[in-house]
Amino acid sequence: MKTPFSTGFKVVSPFGYRTDPITGEANSWHGGVDLVGFDRNVRAVSPGQVIRSRIVTDPNDRTSEWGNYVSVWTDDGRYTYYCHLAARAVEPGERVGAGQILGMEGSTGRSTGIHLHFEVRDGENAQLDPCSYLGIPNTVGFVWDPDSMKDDPEPEPWEKQCHDWSRDAVEWAIQRGILKGKGGGDYALGDGLTREEMCVMLFRAREVL
Ligand SMILES: [Zn+2]
C-alpha cells in the first residue's frame, strides 16, 4: 500500500466524529481523513480504474462539498476518493498505478485550507476507516513515507528541523510583527508590512543568500 503523498504528510483531522471546522457543530461526522502533504502531488494509493474526475457545482448534490475530486475503483474492490484538489491529472476510464499522480492538493469545495480529504468506501456508500486501509494511525500527527523510511531511523519532525536553523530569525520577525503565528511551523506574513519594507527585506535576503 502506498500513501497519497510520496514525500509524507500530516494527518490534520482523523476519520470519525469531530467538531465541524466550518459550523463549529460538535459530533459532526467526518467520513474521511484530512491530510496535508509535504508536497502537493496527490497519488493513487493502490492500482485501479478512475471512475470519476470532476467538480460538481450544484449545491443540492452533496458531492459538491468535495470540489475537484477523483474517485478510483481499486483492484482490491474499494472506492477511493481524493477531494478538494486544485487540479485533476486523470480522466474517467483511465487505469492508474499505485503512486501515479492524480492531481494537485488544493482547497476547492467545502474546505478551510489546502488539504486532501481522502475516503475509502466498500460499495458506493459504506465508509471505511481510511487510515486502517493505509495502515496508519487514525490520529493527528506526522506520517513518513513507509517505503523510503523503512530502513532509516525516524527523522526529526520538519517543524523542529526548521526551528533549529531559523528559530532566531523567526522570533525576531514575530517580535516586529513581520510574521504572525503560534508556532508549530505555521507562520504567515503580518498585516503591518508595507510594500517598501517588503522590498528592503527581499533585497537584504538576496544579499545574504
Ligand atoms: Zn475531510
- pLDDT (tens digit, 9 = 90+) per residue, 70-123? 999 999 999 999 999 999 999 999 999 999 999 999 999 999 999 999 999 998
Identify the pLDDT of residue 180. Answer: 76
Q: How far is the CA of 94 from the centre of ligand 1 (A)?
A: 25
Distance CA 108, CA 13 (A): 17
For residue 7, what pLDDT band results from cuts at 50, 70 and 90? confident
Name, in order, each residue with C-beta under 8 angstroms of 157's C-beta and a sequence gap of 6 or more: 142
pLDDT tens per residue across span 40-78 = 999 999 999 999 999 999 999 999 999 999 999 999 999
Q: How far is the CA of 98 from the centre of ligand 1 (A)?
A: 22
Contacts 24+ apart (CB under 8 A), 84-90: 84/108, 84/109, 84/111, 84/114, 84/115, 84/116, 84/117, 85/42, 85/116, 86/40, 86/114, 88/53, 88/54, 90/50, 90/53
pLDDT at 150 over 50: no
Stated as kind and residue range, the H or E segment containing 17 is strand 16-18
Identify the pLDDT of residue 151. Answer: 47
Q: How far is the CA of 32 from the centre of ligand 1 (A)?
A: 5
pTM above 0.85, yes or no: no
For the record, the C-alpha cell of 52 comes out as: 470519476
For residue 149, what pLDDT band results from cuts at 50, 70 and 90? very low
Tell me which of 147 and 173 has the higher pLDDT.
173
Identify the pLDDT of residue 159. Answer: 52
What does the angle CA 101 – CA 107 – CA 110 come to, to the nearest 5 degrees? 125
In three state form, how does the secondary structure of 84-105 look? EECEECCCCCCEECCCCEEEEC
- Average pLDDT value for residue range 159-170: 63
Q: How far is the CA of 17 from the centre of ligand 1 (A)?
A: 11
Q: How far is the CA of 183 from the centre of ligand 1 (A)?
A: 23
Q: State the span(s) of the chain assigned CATH 2.70.70.10.
A: 9-149
**CATH no. of 9-149:** 2.70.70.10
> Residue 27 in contact with residue 16, Cβ under 8 Å?
no
